[in-house]
Amino acid sequence: MANSKPRILNNNRDMVWSLIPLVIACLLIAGVASQCSLSPGGPKQGPIPNFDVNSALQYDAAEIGFPVRNPVVPEEWTPNSGSRATISGDSGGAASTVGYITGSGAYLQLTQTAASEELVVPFVAGETVYASGAQNVSGRDWVVYGEEGSRIYWVSDFGDVRILLGGTANTEEFTTLAAAVEATEPLAP
């Protein structure tokens, strides 16, 4: 007989002793694969991915049927992401988005689309958010969506394009990007 005790007499202690070799084996495999690390001081900020915002927006300007702007942002802001999506619906359309990590380490995105404000805000937010105020930057009105302590969205109508700014940045950084967009002429297709 391989097992000296009847099965009914096995208990939690026996199960723990049988799992210890499995846990050790998993930790060894994860360590060899460099998939775990010990960080006693807590998590550390990793490198910010670099994204070629100039090429992406120039490509979008050539491909999308509405004016695309490439605003000049502060030097300490790092472009880190970009995408193009289609907003469905009768007043939907293509949307070009680029994201920045600001000097304070917050995220701020710029979405440009011909879709209506009623469609672009929930599309970008991923849920229904409500207007909570307004801002005027360089003479242009921006509708503010969201509440303090959550992701905020600013939207303005530039005629044939809606501009949405969204993220976790502070009001000063939103204002900086809003002013930069206002001062920027659309790219030539």
- Band the pLDDT of 44: cuts 50, 70, 90: confident
Residue 67 has pLDDT above 60, yes or no: yes
Q: For 107-123, what is each residue's pLDDT tens digit?
A: 999 999 999 999 999 99
Number of helices followed by number of strands (H, E) in the chain: 4, 7
Q: For 125-166, what is each residue's pLDDT tens digit?
A: 999 999 999 999 999 999 999 987 789 999 999 999 999 999
Q: What is the mean pLDDT of the chain?
A: 90
CA distances from 139 to 125, 142, 179 (A): 26, 10, 9
Burial-class residue 110 by CB neighbours within 10 Å (0-12, 13-18, 19+). buried
Widest Cα–Cα separation across the chain: 88
Q: How many CA atoms lie within 13 A of 172 on its CB side?
A: 5
User: What pTM did the predictor assign?
Assistant: 0.77
* Overall average pLDDT of the 174-188 stretch: 96
Q: What are phi and psi of 10, to 5 degrees?
A: -70, 140
Which amino acid is present at 27? L
Residue 4 has pLDDT above 80, yes or no: no
- Tracing tokens 């994204």 back to the chain, one arrives at 51
**Residue 17 or 62, more confident:** 62
* Overall average pLDDT of the 163-181 stretch: 96
Task: Determine the Cα–Cα distance for residues 96 and 81; give it in Å rounded to an integer.
Answer: 11
CA distances from 167 to 22, 36, 37, 130 (A): 43, 30, 30, 15
- Band the pLDDT of 3: cuts 50, 70, 90: low
CA distances from 95 to 60, 82, 119 (A): 9, 11, 11
